[in-house]
Structure 1
């Protein structure tokens, strides 16, 4: 027997853990290397994370107003439909399904396998189990698929199982990260800190492997900051996942907005603190050119010695496992809502006897697993950073539109700092996207093309709906 509606069993604590847990994957342990190579100084490294944190918190508190107005499963998809039209919402939902959510699930799953290989070499991504010429399959890919299938199965048995995993793993990784930061500052190298925070800390330049530097023109410097932010924005993404599960939240009008604020604030503080800690234990060159960009491994080794690699590998496995649980749990609710609108597989719009969209979960699982096998998820994720920010901006612009279209609609929570903070986000997001178009076209056009392929699919879905 199937259920006809979601059961509201998640509270403020659960929502906050979903926000924080979905945001923290493996990025904070890796992307700082690329950021530093682009900006050259400790000050700018931390500044990039602060700018990203400000943008993330500003967007999150702005979404609070929308979540209070439309406390329905589907979150951002619903907001875009209400503010604009069903086509804009579908383009978001299509991009979300095609690569944003499924590609992220694949990338996080493979990150789990990569760090598992530190302790279990047999699952290394460097081992080729099957070579078909156009496709090479490694144990790391198979392990990542197993993790995705396992978490999908657990979440298909009801939201309580996913909730328990999310809370347990998020608390564990928050405490582990906090412990790493504290130990890092306790074991800090005074001479390294002083060298990293010398007068050059705020000298914006490109850092090369031979320790040479390349100066930027003013315009190129702004472009370098935008390029550097691709990594920090990816690492800070997925905070909006809590909006997708509004149908399962207790008092969603209040708790979703608060979860968004608390979760993004906690993660921003941890991310900035972690990067300050990196500069306290590692010379700039070792941060920028850590082996395979694994700056977290280098820092942990500097703090704990030989055991540091094992400690950080376990931390990242916990982090990515919990992260993927949140992504898998929340993502299926978007496809469920799309199916209810008649623009996704009809079966995805049904709940099973545990009151969860089981078929939507498994469709998501299949595509995420295919991305794992393709090995192209990393390239695609770089490409969609532009589209992700674009849809965030459209959603925040939607607040202004809805205040005109629906001035009398109940707003239990109003966007903090409106209109100033939302406008600042829109300005910063527009600057980021414009600079990426000019300086990093490979990060922009492919993602935009993926989104726009949804246009014919939308009209095809409408035609089928009428038949």
Structure 2
């Protein structure tokens, strides 16, 4: 047998489920994701992912549902409170179960593999990639607009620019965790400064007397009677803008000193974003009437055109930076969910591997972005916001329920942080309301389709996970992809604390 054949035979003897055994590169003690996310970059990841295009482009979704300025501001504040309680609940879970993957790891620990699998199925195949593609499309519109000042940016151009954005953030995340973290810090600073400009305009507008729609007699005038469904849909719209409050839990294994930095990053980030969102909405209502806001395609741009003069370009530039940063954070966290699920055997083995030199989960990053690229073909994501947000909150509520369950079933687990039980209980109640209220008030087949999609994951779970069926050809595909991407399984699995 040739030397090359002997080498391949030796490597094949170390296979696990068809993969080539890990071979550590010189100077690397273990093949693991490294702890390169500090407090500052953790705050940037949460804030940078939460602040995307929504607060700049279209806060009119909340106003459209509740019909008044006062109720709209209450919804934005309520969304921040719910996000904060959920994030503090996740802080206890994240310091007790120090695995990346967020809800997946917690549901697996509390309820077993089936709920965890259905979560990762829904998020990996649909919610995470569609969120990435939606943000990338917003980025593309604002980058393309200067080249088409007199008309709408052509659809083909929007999709091309969105694809470039997705490929670029994927490449940066594959190259280095440090690079991705620094990019997140930089673009987070820009978007916070942009919100500061908007809030500054609002303060100036209020100072010169534009307070009509913020006065008590006007603020709570609504154009229609607010129903239970209206409140639920308004919270869907607001919570979509807050989405990302849980993203740091997807990268727990990569956080430096997670017991300190995870909860501290949460306690800094969520109140900051809530304050910025509420003040930005106050600024919008000081510059525009409710009817003008509803008619605006991008309320931040309208505000800039009215008050910033020749510097109005700052707003679309900031939106482009904001959405690029949000894409970076979405790709970063979405890949970690995919990586953790594959490491548990809930996805194909190649997605559980990391690059042997760069130590990044490049197969999971590429897979997440590949689905996102497919999803930029359609460009209307209203259905996902309204009809799949209930699926996301089903899992958020389930995760907070796992916190309560594990307090009783696993009382001896070390909990460096203990969140008051009232927080997860209130989030569970809020999630039940968000799931049930719109369905009861306005039944729609889309909710059924979403439920069917979630349950369809069982068609893959039982043959490939429960009965552990591995098609014979998969080991050859796994080895080929390993050699192509220069990746290997981690040499030492992380342990829970």
Q: How does the TM-score come out when normalised to structure 2?
A: 0.84
Partner of 1:257: 263
User: How far does residue 307 in structure 1 lie from its aligned partner after superposition?
Assistant: 4.3
Distance 1:192 1:186, change over 3 A: closer
Assess, with a 3 A threshold, how the Cα gap between structure 1 residues 221 and 247 changes in structure 2: closer, same or farther. Answer: same
CA distance in 2, matches of 1:445, 1:316: 35
Q: Flag the structure with larger Rg.
A: 2
> What's the TM-score, normalizing by structure 1?
0.90
| Aligned residue in 1 for 2:194 | 176
Given that residues 386 and 436 in structure 1 are in contact (C-alpha distance below 8 angstroms), is that contact kept between their aligned partners in structure 2? no
- Counterpart among 282, 300, 311 of residue 304 in structure 2: 300
1:426 offset after TM fit, Å?
Answer: 1.8
Counterpart position of 1:438: 440
- 1:102-122 Cα deviation digits (max 9, x unpaired): 000000000001112221229
Q: Give the secondary structure class of the aligned counterpart of 1:118.
A: helix
The aligned residue for residue 459 of structure 1 is: 462
Question: 2:130 is matched with which residue?
Answer: 103
436, 447, 452: which is aligned to 2:450?
Answer: 447
Find out whether 1:231 has 2:237 as its counterpart. yes
The residue that corresponds to 1:408 in the other structure is 412
Unaligned runs of 5+ in 1: 129-137, 206-212
- The residue that corresponds to 2:18 in the other structure is none
Does structure 2 conserve the Cα–Cα contact (< 8 Å) formed by 1:24 and 1:235? yes
- Kept in 1, the 8 Å contact 2:137–2:379? The answer is no
Equivalent pair of 2:128/2:334 in contact (CA under 8 Å):
yes
* Distance (Å, rounded) in 1 between the aligned partners of 2:267 and 2:305: 33
User: Which residue, out of 326, 329, 335, partners 1:326?
Assistant: 329
The whole-number CA distance in structure 2 between the counterparts of 1:337 and 1:350 is 10
2:217 to 199, 219, 242: 199
**Cα distance in structure 1, aligned partners of 2:466 and 2:69:** 55
Cα distance change of structure 1 residues 379 and 125 upon mapping to structure 2, 3 Å threshold: farther
Q: How far apart are 1:173 and its partner, in Å?
A: 1.0
Shift of 1:159: 0.3
Would the alpha carbon gap of residues 142 and 44 (structure 1) be closer, same or farther in structure 2, given more than 3 Å must change?
Answer: same
Write the mapping of 1:128-277 to structure 2, written as runs, cut at 5 A: 128=155, 138-188=156-206, 190=208, 192-203=210-221, 205=222, 213-214=223-224, 216=225, 221-277=227-283
In the comparison of the two structures, how many residue pairs are matched? 441
Q: State the alpha-carbon separation in 2 of the partners of residues 441 and 156 from structure 1.
A: 43
Q: Using the alignment, how far apart are the partners of 1:195 and 1:174 within structure 2? A: 25
**1:386–1:147 Cα change, 3 Å:** same
SS at match of 1:395: helix
Unpaired segments of 5 or more residues in structure 2?
A: 1-23, 471-497
Alignment match, 1:91: 118
Task: Give the stretch that moved more between structures: 221-230 or 244-253.
Answer: 221-230
Which of 362, 367, 383 is the matching residue for 2:366? 362
The answer to whether the 8 A contact 2:342-2:349 is kept is yes
Query: Which stretch has the larger CA shift, 183-192 or 26-35?
Result: 183-192
Q: Which residue of 1 aligns with 2:399?
A: 395
Q: Is the 8 A contact 1:282 1:302 kept in 2?
A: no
For the 8 Å contact 2:45–2:248, the answer to whether it is kept is yes
